[in-house]
A and B are shown apart, each in its own frame.
Chain A
């Protein structure tokens, strides 16, 4: 079954404590992406990756890092989380880079106190 998994699904943490949200897909897709969802703003792209070792910034990359060492995994790293990073995060896996249906993970709800 084609799927995108994210872990953890829920996380409450404190300011400054480094954390990683994992994302894994089993569809051998080259393109993957991270979004954050905030009320009234919809979803905004944080980072994306076109293939292994190829990543680039999206619209709101400040405070985040990513890596793509393997095709299936695309972790999102918050080196020093702050309360304004409290949000709902979605990882997406895309079959091709041009308009195909995106496969979204179930979301990770992060609270930074």
Chain B
């Protein structure tokens, strides 16, 4: 069975601080995909990144960066110089061979204070 754990339920930071959201996953599949989604207060799910299991390169997109470590089954997300607009719920998710199903973590509520 697949499982995703986001151990941080809530994180509160002050603007301009860096923040890392942790994600640990479990799967027996050798080919799988990892995702991060952002859910702002308006409620929609915003796709941030997809990474497949064969690509362990870290990725940077502006203030966002992702660290994929297969050895520790982790796919952590860092926001550099956080801004108030980053306040949202962030979900890590795992996809594999099961007809497009995603297994989501519990979500991390990030609050960035001015």
Identify the A interface with B (CB < 8 A): 31, 33, 35, 40-45, 48, 50, 56, 58, 88, 90, 92, 94, 96-102, 104, 106-107, 109
Q: In the docked arrangement, what's the CA distance between A104 and B104, Å?
A: 14
Q: In the docked arrangement, what's the CA distance between A45 and B35, Å?
A: 16
Q: In the docked arrangement, what's the CA distance between A101 and B98, Å?
A: 14
* Interface hits, B21-67 → A, CB 8 Å: 31-33, 35, 43-45, 47, 50, 52
Contact with B43, one of A48, A94, A97, A107 (Cβ below 8 angstroms): A107
Q: In the docked arrangement, what's the CA distance between A33 and B93, Å?
A: 15
Q: Is the interface of B mostly helix, strand, loop or mixed?
A: loop
- Considering the complex of A and B, which 8 residue pairs feature the smallest CB-CB distances, nearest first? A99-B33, A94-B100, A42-B104, A31-B100, A43-B104, A104-B45, A97-B100, A99-B95
Known: A98-B97, A99-B33, A99-B96. A106 touches B43 (CB 8 A): yes
Residues from chain A with a CB closer than 8 A to the CB of B4 are 42
Number of interface residues of B (CB under 8 A): 27
Known: A42-B105, A88-B43, A106-B43. A101 touches B100 (CB 8 A): no
Q: Closest B residue to A40 by CB, please name it.
A: B106
Q: In the docked arrangement, what's the CA distance between A42 and B98, Å?
A: 18
Show 7 residue pairs from A and B whose CB-CB distance is below 8 angstroms, ordered by the A residue: A35-B102, A43-B104, A90-B45, A94-B100, A97-B97, A101-B50, A104-B44
Contact with A33, one of B33, B45, B96, B100 (Cβ below 8 angstroms): B100
> Shortest CB–CB separation between residue B50 and chain A, in angstroms?
6
The residue in B6, B45, B50 that gathers the most chain A C-beta atoms within 10 A of its C-beta is B45
**B104 A96 Cβ-Cβ under 8 A:** no
> Shortest CB–CB separation between residue A33 and chain B, in angstroms?
6
